[in-house]
């Protein structure tokens, strides 16, 4: 029957190509829209996490409760290296955060700020992708200066080259006191960070607080958002649940989850309308194909071909054209999605400023997720299989005399 179905397709190539094109259009736009939706969602989450933490956060349970520098954790370099070697881990970002009072000789007042010690090389792929240096330079490995936000620079009335006096509590009762030069000014899109946080290199922070090999948090960035749970479970096997708290990105940016779920729901509704649109296109093509073959079906039944055998042959025809259309769509969309995964579509004008206010990349990414391709493949193929019941039902209820009367009418016209 499969061979007969294949031969039937060759009898009328234009009709077969029209059906294949209808299926191709359905699968093509379903895959592109699904990839764009997932890409925008993933890039938005990724950009927000670059300033608020990482996909996974490790810290001691006591530090989570007290936020005291005395409760930070000690980890050796071997432990950090073992985390970085886990599958799908993009980067491991150790951080030392505490609080200080800062002042300047030009002002009698002091200001309480958060100070965050970071690894300058590793953080280039995190903080610098959503922030912008407007004055001075980014850290090198051994720099001792600090970088302020634009908002804090305006509050203090200071600039690059000025020196801050800092004073606070160090690790285990030591004093954190010193004079630190301002090395740079950054434009940070999160206003709370911009006006109340200063950045320093991790080595300088550990020296200031006398906390060698100690960290307040360890952030882990994942290569893929869907692999975060896998990485988290592997990390949990390395750390005691009684001493350490391990959180994923959903806990870190919990206040944003509503907006992501809302956006995902809107995307689902749009996809639903897209399926209805492309499904009606496929159904219309199948109905047209079936109606114009009414005479052919009537003749075949009248000369002794069973309706079940004819239905099976037609069903195989539809399966072949559906598979060809969907496979062709996957082959064509795969390089397109791959390209725009690496090279996002840039946005211009007011849209860029709006996105930066929310720490979101000013570009439209696509997501190269093979599960999406498989999902869309199965959905479009399923739509075709459902609509394949129409020609089968048509054959089962076809009145042969009516179909043959069409032939008589055509002969009379001749």
| pTM exceeds cut of 0.85 | no
Q: Does 230 score more than 70 pLDDT?
A: yes
How far, CA to CA in Å, does 248 sit from each of 60, 73, 254, 260? Answer: 15, 19, 10, 16
Q: Taking a C-beta distance cutoff of 8 angstroms, is the pair 37, 274 a contact?
A: no
Q: Does 408 score more than 50 pLDDT?
A: no
Q: Most confidently modeled of 9-18, 94-103, 106-115, 397-406?
A: 94-103
Cα 407–Cα 411–Cα 413 angle in degrees, nearest 5: 115
Q: Does 385 score more than 50 pLDDT?
A: yes
Q: What CA–CA distance (Å, rounded) separates 193 from 364? A: 26
Q: Does 414 score more than 80 pLDDT?
A: no
Q: Does 8 score more than 70 pLDDT?
A: no
Q: How is residue 182 written in tokens?
A: 């301002």
Q: Provide, rounded to the nearest whole percent, the portion of the chain with pLDDT above 90.
A: 13
Q: Read out DSSP for 272-337?
A: HHHHHHHHHHHHHHHHHHHHTTHHHHHHHHHTT--HHHHHHHHHHHHHHHHHHHHHHHHHHHHHHH
pLDDT for 266-284, tens place per residue? Answer: 878 888 887 888 778 778 8
Domain spans, the chain: 2-47+258-407, 73-215
The pLDDT of 100-120, averaged and rounded, is 85
Q: What CA–CA distance (Å, rounded) separates 393 from 283? A: 14
Q: Most confidently modeled of 229-243, 268-282, 315-329, 393-407?
A: 229-243
Q: How is residue 65 written in tokens?
A: 């409760």
Domain 73-215 listed as CATH 2.40.70 = yes
**Residue-level length of the chain:** 414
Long-range own/partner contacts, residues 20-25 (CB < 8 A, 24 or more apart) = 20/321, 20/324, 20/325, 20/328, 21/325, 22/281, 22/282, 22/285, 22/325, 23/282, 23/321, 23/322, 23/324, 23/325, 23/326, 23/329, 23/380, 23/384, 24/325, 24/326, 24/328, 24/329, 25/278, 25/281
Q: Does 1 score more than 50 pLDDT?
A: yes
């Amino acid at each position: 029957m499969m061979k007969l179905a294949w031969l039937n397709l060759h009898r009328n190539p234009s009709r077969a190509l029209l059906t294949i094109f209808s299926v191709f259009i359905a699968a093509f736009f379903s895959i592109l829209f699904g990839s764009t939706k997932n890409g925008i969602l993933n890039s938005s989450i990724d950009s927000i996490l670059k300033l608020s933490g990482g996909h996974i956060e490790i810290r001691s349970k006591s530090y989570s409760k007290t936020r005291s520098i005395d409760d930070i954790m000690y980890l050796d370099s071997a432990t950090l290296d073992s985390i970085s070697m886990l599958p799908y881990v993009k980067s491991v970002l150790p951080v030392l955060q505490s609080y200080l009072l800062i002042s300047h000789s030009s002002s009698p007042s002091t200001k309480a700020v958060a100070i965050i010690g970071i690894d300058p090389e590793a953080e280039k792929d995190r903080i610098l992708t959503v922030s912008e240096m407007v004055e001075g330079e980014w850290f090198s490995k051994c720099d001792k200066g600090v970088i302020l936000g634009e908002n804090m620079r305006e509050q203090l009335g200071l600039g690059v080259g000025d020196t801050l006096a800092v004073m606070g509590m160090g690790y285990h009762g030591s004093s954190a006191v010193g004079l630190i030069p301002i090395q740079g000014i950054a434009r940070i899109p999160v206003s709370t960070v911009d006006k109340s946080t200063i950045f320093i290199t991790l080595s300088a922070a550990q020296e200031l607080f006398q906390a060698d090999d100690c960290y307040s948090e360890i952030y882990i960035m994942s290569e893929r958002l869907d692999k975060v749970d896998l990485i988290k479970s592997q990390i949990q096997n390395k750390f005691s649940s009684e001493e350490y708290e391990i959180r994923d990105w959903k806990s870190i940016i919990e206040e944003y989850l509503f907006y992501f779920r809302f956006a995902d729901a809107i995307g689902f509704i749009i996809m639903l309308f897209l399926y209805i649109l492309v499904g009606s296109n496929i159904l219309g093509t199948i109905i047209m194909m079936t109606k114009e073959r009414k005479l052919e079906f009537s003749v075949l039944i009248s000369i002794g071909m069973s309706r079940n055998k004819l239905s099976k042959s037609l069903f195989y025809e539809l399966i072949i054209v559906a598979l060809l259309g969907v496979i062709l769509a996957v082959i064509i969309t795969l390089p397109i999605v791959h390209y725009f995964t690496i090279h996002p579509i840039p946005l211009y004008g007011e849209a860029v400023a709006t996105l930066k206010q929310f720490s979101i990349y000013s570009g439209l990414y696509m997501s190269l997720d093979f599960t999406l391709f498989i999902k869309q493949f199965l959905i479009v193929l399923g739509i075709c299989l459902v609509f394949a019941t129409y020609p089968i039902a048509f054959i089962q209820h076809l009145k042969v005399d009516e179909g043959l009367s069409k032939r008589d009418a055509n002969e009379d016209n001749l």
